[in-house]
Chain A
Amino acid sequence: MADIMSAANTNNRETVRLGAPWEKTGNTSWTQCPECDDWFHIGPGLLDRPEVAMHCPSCHHEFNQTDAKRLVTSG
């Protein structure tokens, strides 16, 4: 995930830092639709393919990663 972070380097991206090995951490990345503000979760395979547009399950708006209102990645 770290290489994606550095490659994208846009203002809408935030990452959740890892903690100590005994601390529980998540594995799920979330994006917020720029049209309706709803959040939905996206897998690493889609994050790895920025050329594939994301599709909001609530309002069906399609948008690129750089256009997401927020993109919170885990890892």
Chain B
Amino acid sequence: MSVSHQITALQYALEKAGRHPIVVVDEPLMADGTTSDIPVVTNLTASRAVVARSLGINDHQTAAPIYAQRTGTQITPETISNDTAPVQEIVIEGDDVDLTRLPALTQHVTDPGPYLTAAHATTYDPDTKTDNTAIQRCWIKSKRRMSYFPYPSSHNNRNMRKFWARGEDCPVVFWIGHHPAVLMGTQAKLNYPESHWGACGGLLGEPLRVTPSRTFGDLIMVPADAEIVIEGYVPRDVLEADGPFGEYTGYSGPQVAAPVVNVTSITMRKGALYHDYGSGLTDMLVPDNMTMEGKVYGLCKQVAPSVTNVHVPAQGRRFHGYIQVENPGPGEVRDALMAALSYRRLKMAIAVDKDIDIFDDSEMMFALATRVQWSRDSFTVDGLSGSLLDPSTPAGSKTLSKIGIDASLPLPGRPGAPPPVPPRSIVPQDAMDNAAKILSGTDMSGWPTL
């Protein structure tokens, strides 16, 4: 199976079929016709259930409050020596470095070539020496050179600009492949400057093991149990074309002017796996959205104690947030909606009651259809920060227009009386249980498919 489009196509086909298995390609076929001896692992995080289990959470629907709590409880990383760090079992340096031997995928039609999609870039603030980590894409251009796109508002970009302002190239390390808890810990929303290693440990439930990088020593530590590490410098003031690139929006993002990396070394485990994220697929949306749920839950909870859960559905990319409330006080639903909309990526927030399953879009549609008078129950706010990758943003805009929708029920009218709304039509539970029993014992295989 080829790294050019074929593995990604399989992910799309699986997603269409509603299946989310982890995909391992043992001998990926490279674009030049050779076979890589580094297996590709992708779709690792396409299933909410799998991601939750990897965090030790049995029910993915309960992950938001747990993520918020665990990333707030940081665990200091543990430093181990280079010679015991698995990720440095194999060291390739200098002219032996060849990025083109990594089985990096070319995912979408408009992508110009193979991209590292699960490369976690670690830089440090030259003022405080505090490190920062974020997942950022790299286009492999030649044996020792790749583009690198730290989003302009990112902390890595800030670190890079500081080095450049001093007239220096920016040291950077990219690490690929780790426990999903560590991958999700790198997404914790932290202050600047603040290391992510503690949040990774918090999610992992034990200290993250780190080791000094080959090129930068303890100025940049790398996760000792990662699969692959790429080290190098971002040369000062050098920008080259990068992209187009298939984004999480489901659209191809435009070509941009991006920094590049001159690679000094690659280290890896013996028998290393290459981790790829299917960009714009649930593989990438699920872990991102589950971390968002934790962050948005924390934001809402601060102003609206009645908020019990948050879901950021993959169908809405990263733009929709479903907020569940239970017995909110007057004004609390809108307080929660305002808090949710202040989160940069969310563009629409919908609040519903406890009786609506926020993990079931048909239930959300039911609430929208039957509990909302649009002029009364929705409000738009213009000029908030948001993702400019959203294809609907007007040319030149730097902010977005957002909407909050209160699809909760009116507050109870009188003590002891039912709420002033019609009750939902339901069938008694014993009859439902009986129906489920009948169906479970029925062979439906011969039924017509109409």
Bound-state CA distance A75–B137 (Å) is: 57
Given contacts A41-B422, A41-B423, contact A24 B376 (CB under 8 A): yes
- Asked if B446 is an interface residue, CB under 8 A from chain A, the answer is no
- Asked if B56 is an interface residue, CB under 8 A from chain A, the answer is no
Given contacts A21-B376, A24-B377, A28-B422, contact A39 B417 (CB under 8 A): yes
Contact A25 B420 (CB under 8 A): yes
Given contacts A24-B408, A24-B411, A72-B413, contact A39 B418 (CB under 8 A): yes
- Asked if B283 is an interface residue, CB under 8 A from chain A, the answer is no
- Asked if B437 is an interface residue, CB under 8 A from chain A, the answer is no
The contact of A24 among B410, B417, B418, B423, by CB within 8 Å, is B410
Q: Provide the residues of chain A in CB contact with B414, threshold 8 Å.
A: 14, 16, 72
Given contacts A14-B414, A16-B414, contact A27 B376 (CB under 8 A): no
Q: In chain B, residues 84-102, which have Cβ atoms closer than 8 Å to a Cβ of chain A?
A: none
Interface string of A38-61 (1 = CB under 8 A from B): 010100000000000000000000
Band of interface residues on B: 10 to 19
Contact B410 A30 (CB under 8 A): no
- Asked if B409 is an interface residue, CB under 8 A from chain A, the answer is yes
Bound-state CA distance A26–B371 (Å) is: 10
Given contacts A14-B414, A72-B413, A74-B413, contact A28 B376 (CB under 8 A): no
Q: Provide the residues of chain B in CB contact with A30, threshold 8 Å.
A: 417-418, 420
On chain A, the number of residues with a Cβ less than 8 Å from chain B's Cβ atoms is: 18
Query: In the assembled complex, how far is the CB of residue B217 from the closest CB belonging to chain A, in whole angstroms?
Result: 60
The contact of A25 among B410, B418, B422, by CB within 8 Å, is B410
Contact B417 A26 (CB under 8 A): no
- Quick one: closest B residue to A71, CB to CB? B417
Work out how many contacts link A and B, with CB atoms closer than 8 A. 46
Q: Provide the residues of chain B in CB contact with A70, threshold 8 Å.
A: 416-417
- Quick one: closest A residue to B376, CB to CB? A22
Contact B413 A26 (CB under 8 A): yes
Q: Provide the residues of chain A in CB contact with B410, threshold 8 Å.
A: 24-26
Q: Provide the residues of chain B in CB contact with A21, threshold 8 Å.
A: 376
- Asked if B250 is an interface residue, CB under 8 A from chain A, the answer is no
Interface string of B401-444 (1 = CB under 8 A from A): 00000101111011011111111000000000000000000000
Q: Provide the residues of chain B in CB contact with A74, threshold 8 Å.
A: 413, 420
Bound-state CA distance A74–B417 (Å) is: 11
Q: Provide the residues of chain A in CB contact with B418, threshold 8 Å.
A: 30, 39, 41
- Give the most central of B330, B376, B414, B416: most A CB within 10 Å: B414
- Quick one: closest A residue to B411, CB to CB? A24
Query: In the assembled complex, how far is the CB of residue B437 from the closest CB belonging to chain A, in whole angstroms?
Result: 27
Contact A26 B376 (CB under 8 A): no
Bound-state CA distance A8–B376 (Å) is: 31
Interface string of B338-359 (1 = CB under 8 A from A): 0000000000000000000000
**Apart from A30-B420, A70-B416, 18 more pairs, CB < 8 Å:** A14-B417, A16-B413, A16-B414, A24-B406, A24-B410, A24-B411, A26-B413, A26-B419, A26-B420, A26-B421, A27-B421, A28-B422, A30-B418, A32-B417, A41-B422, A72-B414, A74-B413, A74-B420
- Seen from chain B, the residues whose Cβ lies within 8 Å of a Cβ on chain A are 330, 376-377, 406, 408-411, 413-414, 416-423
Q: Which 3 A-B pairs have the closest CB atoms?
A: A26-B420, A16-B413, A24-B410
- Seen from chain A, the residues whose Cβ lies within 8 Å of a Cβ on chain B are 14, 16, 21-30, 32, 39, 41, 70, 72, 74
A-B contact pairs, 27 of them (CB 8 A): A14-B414, A16-B413, A16-B414, A23-B330, A24-B376, A24-B377, A24-B408, A24-B409, A24-B411, A25-B420, A26-B413, A26-B419, A26-B420, A26-B421, A27-B421, A28-B420, A28-B422, A30-B417, A30-B420, A32-B417, A39-B417, A41-B422, A41-B423, A70-B416, A72-B414, A74-B413, A74-B420
